[in-house]
Amino acid sequence: MFDTKIAILVLDDLATWQKLNVTAFLATGIAAAAPEAMGEPYVDARGRQFASLLGQPMLIFAAGLNDLRRAHRIAAEKGLLTAVYVRAMFSTGHDAANREAFKAEPLEAPDLVGIAIRGSRKDVDKATKTARLHP
């Protein structure tokens, strides 16, 4: 049992490639911001080393826009570690452009298509209460 929980909420009406892309980007955001959550490198039977993975499970949720907005609001209120992905980022080609696209979003209502959060189990559960686990 972990003291913290990681949840990724992805807008349920995206194309499959978009859902996978958003999930991958958000997972890297949490991993980069929480190095203490990383496990040890993997080593195979020949001794070849592979990259470390997050050391705890991530729950992936299918979410409607209201679920995303609710999670965003609660994450801010509770001070949870948060990574976000907005629709405009689909039309950019690199990281700097993604940051500019996000910065241009309305502060109170960004056009969220995905959000990842990490924090206490209780707070993450509260933020994801209305979303459903991704099928």
Q: Which residues pair with 133 in a beta bridge?
A: 61
Residue 4: partners with Cβ closer than 8 Å, 6 or more residues away: 37, 56, 118, 119, 120, 121, 124
Q: What is the pLDDT of residues 12-39, one digit of tens each?
A: 999 999 999 999 999 999 999 999 999 9
Residue 77 — pLDDT band, cuts 50, 70, 90? very high
Average pLDDT over residues 112-127: 98
pLDDT at 27: 97
pLDDT of 135 reads 87
pLDDT above 90: residue 1: no
Q: How confident is the model at residue 108 (pLDDT cuts 50, 70, 90)?
A: confident
Which one, of 27, 5, 2, lies nearest residue 75 by Cα? 5
What pLDDT score does 92 carry? 95
Where does the pLDDT of residue 64 fall: very low under 50, low under 70, confident under 90, or very high at 90 and above?
very high
CATH number of the domain at 4-133, please?
Answer: 3.40.1490.10
